[in-house]
Structure formats: C-alpha cells, structure tokens
Amino acid sequence: MLENIKETANFICSKIKTKPEIGIILGTGLGGLVNKINNQEILEYADIPNFPVSTVEGHSGRLIFGELGSKNVAAMQGRFHFYEGYDMKQVTFPVRVMKELNIKYLFVSNASGGVNPDFETGDLMILRDHINLMPNPLLGKNYEELGVRFLDMSEAYSKKLIAVADETAAELGIKVQHGVYVGTTGPTFETPSEYRYFRIIGGDAVGMSTVPEVIVARHSNIPVFAISIITDLGVEGKIIEVSHEEVQKVGAAAEVKMTELIRNMLEKL
C-alpha cells in the first residue's frame, strides 16, 4: 500500500502545479462546489494510477485542484463507497494520497437522512461525532509510517474547525444544526425500525459514507470538518418513500449554502 500511495502522489505531482493545503470530499449531488474553484487543474479518476472509479450517479469522478477561499485545494468530485464493492482500503485510498500531498485539513460533505425530529429537509448539520456501523478501514496490517495501531477517536471532528464554522454561519445568516452521524454500509435506505434504532443509540442523521474517510484522516493526523445536507427524514410521521434522485435534488438545492459556508471558512484558516 505504501508504494501505491507514493506512486499515485508522484503521478499527481507530475501533472499539476497546485500544492494543495486543503482536501475536500464532495458527496452525492454536492459536486457543484467545484464551480467556485479558480485556476482549475483537473485529473479524471480513470487516469490516476491506483484510483478506483466512482460508479454512483451524481458522482462525477474527477480530482480538481485550484483556489477556493484564498487556499489551494484538492477537491474530489465524487467519492467511493463500500457498497460499490470496493474494500475499505480502496474507499479511503484518496485520503492517504492527500496526506502524501501534504494537506493540512480535510473537509467532507455528504447527503444524509435526518433522524432527529427537530431537523427539516434541507438543513445543514455539522458533524460533532459519529457512530460507525461499517467495517473499520484500519482492520488488517498497520503501517507505522501511516499512523498508530490503536487510534484515539475522542476528537474525530476538529473542535477548532467547528467553532470556525459556527462563527462563519452566524456571519452569513446560515442556519446550521449539530449532530451525530451514523455510518452504515447501504445501499438500501433504512427501514422505519432502523431509523428508530439509530435515534435510540444517539444518532441525528444516517448515511452511507464519510466515516471511513474520517477515520483514515485522523489516523493520518489530519484535522477534519464534516457537514451533512439533510435530504430526507427518518422521523416517525415524516417518513416517505425516498429515492436516490430525490436525494440528489434536495442536495443540489441546499448546496449553495454549504458552498458559501465552506468557502468563507477557508478564508479564515
């Protein structure tokens, strides 16, 4: 794995001039943030050695370098999921490569289902913690060059970055929620009983991504900020049939607020 990480990072460095400070992973229907990136340099996933290729509608499959909020960024327009058949090492491989490229922070976004009865469709939820119901990406051999064997997760999401987000949201007049994200394998959406269970165990939202990347980022000692767009509700009395297309539609509508929040946060770092 170490050789693959270095090979991929070296290839990227040979193709682009930007030296990224910030890594960004964009979730389902949230790829429009890249339109705000200036001086773009673009690599297709299919052209990058050792990179998987996203198979999910709404995930473009491009690694975009450039400037956002006065910072040099590397933005993944499309991520990889366990449910696509990739193993967790493949799902999180881009985070390892970003670390090799010397990013200082990782920003992650996703579309998720709200299980907190105080949430509404279209809300932005800043992740303050997560509950992992997926296979852990650190299973198997540990490479000391990448991180410690037994990883402390008491601050999975950077308190500093959350404070910057709250300050920025207040300045922009953007309403934000805070909550705990439950990470599941998918690809099925949840049953009503599963929604109730996730709420009982302390969840505020549920989704099929993010947690593996966050674990590997923390293993790499990268501070993380993550935000969910609540695209549907798994709250008793508000549960309706949900589709991937509807998730994309709601995500796109709320994306403008998320983009402004992230762009202005980067200005402050």
**pLDDT-based confidence at 254, cuts 50/70/90?**
confident
Could you tell me the residue range of the domain that residue 223 belongs to? 2-268
Residues 6+ apart with CB under 8 A from 267: 69, 70
Q: pLDDT tens digits for 90-108? A: 999 999 999 999 999 999 9
- C-alpha–C-alpha distance, residues 198 and 234, integer Å: 10
CB 181 within 8 A of CB 130: yes
The pLDDT > 70 percentage for the chain reads 90
User: Sign of dihedral through CA atoms 218, 227, 158, 207?
Assistant: negative
Bridging pattern class, strands 224-233 and 38-44: unpaired
Give the domain CATH number at 103: 3.40.50.1580
Q: What is the pTM of this model?
A: 0.93
SS (H, E, C) the chain: CHHHHHHHHHHHHHHCCCCCCEEEEECCCCHHHHHHCEEEEEEEHHHCCCCCCCCCCCCCCEEEEEEECCEEEEEEECCCCHHHCCCHHHHHHHHHHHHHCCCCEEEEEEEEEECCCCCCCCCEEEEEEEEECCCCCCCCCCCCCCCCCCCCCCCCCCHHHHHHHHHHHHHHCCCEEEEEEEECCCCCCCCHHHHHHHHHCCCCEEECCCHHHHHHHHHCCCCEEEEEEEEEECCCCCCCCCCHHHHHHHHHHHHHHHHHHHHHHHHHC
User: Considering its fold, how many domains does the chain have in total?
Assistant: 1
Mean pLDDT of 178-204: 96
**pLDDT-based confidence at 139, cuts 50/70/90?**
very high
